[in-house]
Amino acid sequence: MLIGGLSYKTKQFFFVLIKLSIVVGAFYFIYQKLTTNEDLDFGEFLRFLRRNDAFSAKNIIFLIILTIFNWFFEILKWKTLVGSIREISFKNAMEQSLGALTASLFTPNRIGEYGAKAIYFERSRRKEIMLLNLISNMMQMSVTLILGIIGITIMHQKFNLQIDYFRLLKFSLIVIVIAIFTVFGLHQNKFRIKGFSIERLKEFIRQLSKSIAIKAFVISFLRYLIFSFQFYILLDFFGVRVNYYNAMVVITSMYLISSIIPSIFIFDVVIKGSVAVYLFSIVGVNAFTTLSIITIMWLLNFVLPSIFGSFYVLNFNLPKTNDL
């Protein structure tokens, strides 16, 4: 028991308080991120949107439809992966995905998503659920890496990027060292992740059905196409005249670098926004437009779904067969 020795009503009170705290924390995080952004003044951003007549009702509806498809594929991927250990409905997968988004929104790199999804299941399944979530994120990251490497290679050749080769060398050395230790650890089977030995992790991945793994990877790819196309559409709405090919080269490069920065350059002054501003400036997009699009993408694909997710958080009940 999490709160042993207390009456049922007291436990329920604390449980409701925790759920309310999560929702309030998520909304406060959203408010802080919007109002204290050093790169983009929120008031100016709103005034800019009001002046921009491209955001008609039809265009807004189209953007929301793309967001729905984005999260449809994310939910479908989660349902597919969980199906390897237990069948769940699409409705349950949606509740778990959106609820976990809200609960993890204010955690570093959304690490809280692992525990948030696991708590929907009985205790005996929670470690497996966390591993499935890890696999889900790894698949999405793999798509980002593959397309991003292609994109940044083309971009370097086409636009002659000014690359800091000293930093690139440091990064390469870090990757090589990590790879060596990882390979050594895999052979030794002594490392443990989330209570699992490396051997057990490898066995868990081997036991995952190939058809499920392929389906989940294809879904990850489709999801990537959706949100990258949404970014391109926003460029068009803002009057940026860049062809789809060039836009995708920059977009895939941006997502690659943005995915690497949080885990590798934790204390680096480079931030996601400045990376996007630099990359898009190469194809003639001004900084304010780039930052505005990034903000809208965040509002559409994180804030909007987290509002629906807050409903699931507030109505969440623990599995009847297990306590926390």
pLDDT for the residue numbered 180 = 66
pLDDT higher than 90, residue 143: yes
Local confidence band at 265 (pLDDT 50, 70, 90 cut-offs) = very low
List of residues 6+ apart from 40 with CB closer than 8 A: 273, 288, 291, 292, 295
For 103-131, the pLDDT digits (tens) are 998 887 788 899 999 999 998 899 899 99
Q: Which of 90-94, 133-137, 225-229 has the lowest mean pLDDT?
A: 133-137
Local confidence band at 192 (pLDDT 50, 70, 90 cut-offs) = low
pLDDT for the residue numbered 175 = 60
Tally of residues, the chain = 324
C-alpha span between 126 and 94 (Å, rounded): 18
Local confidence band at 269 (pLDDT 50, 70, 90 cut-offs) = very low
pLDDT higher than 70, residue 94: yes
What pTM was estimated for this model as a whole?
A: 0.85
* Residue 37 β-bridge partners: none
For 72-84, the pLDDT digits (tens) are 999 999 999 999 9
pLDDT higher than 60, residue 183: no
For 4-37, the pLDDT digits (tens) are 556 667 778 888 899 999 999 999 988 888 888 7
Positions of E strands within 113-206: 192-193, 196-197
C-alpha span between 127 and 8 (Å, rounded): 27
pLDDT for the residue numbered 306 = 95
Of all residues in the chain, the percent with pLDDT exceeding 70 is 80
Q: What's the chain's average pLDDT?
A: 83
For 282-293, the pLDDT digits (tens) are 888 888 899 899
pLDDT for the residue numbered 167 = 63
Local confidence band at 38 (pLDDT 50, 70, 90 cut-offs) = confident
pLDDT higher than 80, residue 135: yes
Tell me what the mean pLDDT of segment 197-213 comes to. 80
Q: Which helix or strand (DSSP H or E) is residue 18 part of? A: helix 8-35
Tell me what the mean pLDDT of segment 214-230 comes to. 97
More confident residue, 279 or 216: 216
pLDDT for the residue numbered 270 = 39
Burial 159-181 (b: 16+ CB within 10 A, else e): eeeeeeeeeeeeeeeeeeeeeee
